[in-house]
A = this chain, B = another copy of it.
């Protein structure tokens, strides 16, 4: 390995002079400085990163904690984070929480080998986040909110998103609506549910217990819960699923019973993952602007690393309803078409015959 001693030899100066030049510390003649830099470039000297990190107390690495890579929402978000961190010259260290990787993440936070941490799947029970905040580590929660916690937070407006779906159902004349929820702890499922319920209440609709199913954000549970709902004597005519992956399972659950979507039942998801727009699903959903959320989260984290004393900031992005073939189309202002290929559009009926023309839902 090339060392600063080699640089000193080639430049014909002392090692102390090389050190002063490379650390930009102390007086050095311009001519000497040039000679040292040329020598370093000539023999390919790279200052040791660990040694430099020791001096600067920065590792150049940002930790990202995800809860579940098998939910396509997270790989999509991580792609965006990877790009944003790479542009900022940072390395990304990734852990999945829950698995054994969690311990490694906790240790890295304790030992300070990370400059900061981005949490994409935090809950009030997140040991890693609590630990990071106790240790004063720069931390940003992304996607899920942590009300009352003193850290930067970037979320989309899950409550308004849930409300919007309730109003969309009500405006379309649905009277029996169903819901397949998520775990209680994450703010995303809690807020979407609160919004959905308040939206139903505002339009005079209710959600009886038999139309309400618990879930866990997975395809398999969505499939199972939808089969339960569609097996009721009076099944719901529109079902909101707490996330897209659950909704894809719900669509397959309806498919497995020979039920037609949207003719027999409407299905709506949440997130707008890439698959939502595939022909096989053509899913109406609420879009989370993940690219913009990732870029803002990285900006907040890096600015906090630079100025740790800044008061915590919270950024809430708008939620946008994207209407596709898993519900009836309408010309209202509320929903934006997702620009499907014409061949696909043409196959879909514009609305089930039992549905009245949709009014603006807000």
Contact = CB atoms under 8 A, between A and B. Distances in A.
Nearest to A96: B82
A349 to B, nearest CB: 15
What is the oligomeric copy number?
2
Contacts of A257: 343
Contacts of A102: 86
Contact of A108 (B48, B91, B274): B91
Nearest to A258: B347
A336 to B, nearest CB: 20
Contact of A79 (B59, B70, B103, B252): B70
A100 interface: yes
Contact of A101 (B46, B86, B100, B253): B86
Contacts of A94: 78, 82, 92-94
Contacts of A274: 70, 219
A306 interface: no
A83 B98 CA distance: 10
Contacts of A105: 91
Contact of A86 (B49, B50, B59, B100): B100
Interface string A245-264: 00010011101111000000
Contacts of A54: 50-51, 54
Interface in A75-117: 75-76, 78-79, 82-83, 85-87, 89-96, 99-105, 108, 110-113
Q: Can you list the 3 inter-chain pairs with the closest CB atoms, starting with the nearest?
A: A86-B100, A49-B111, A86-B101
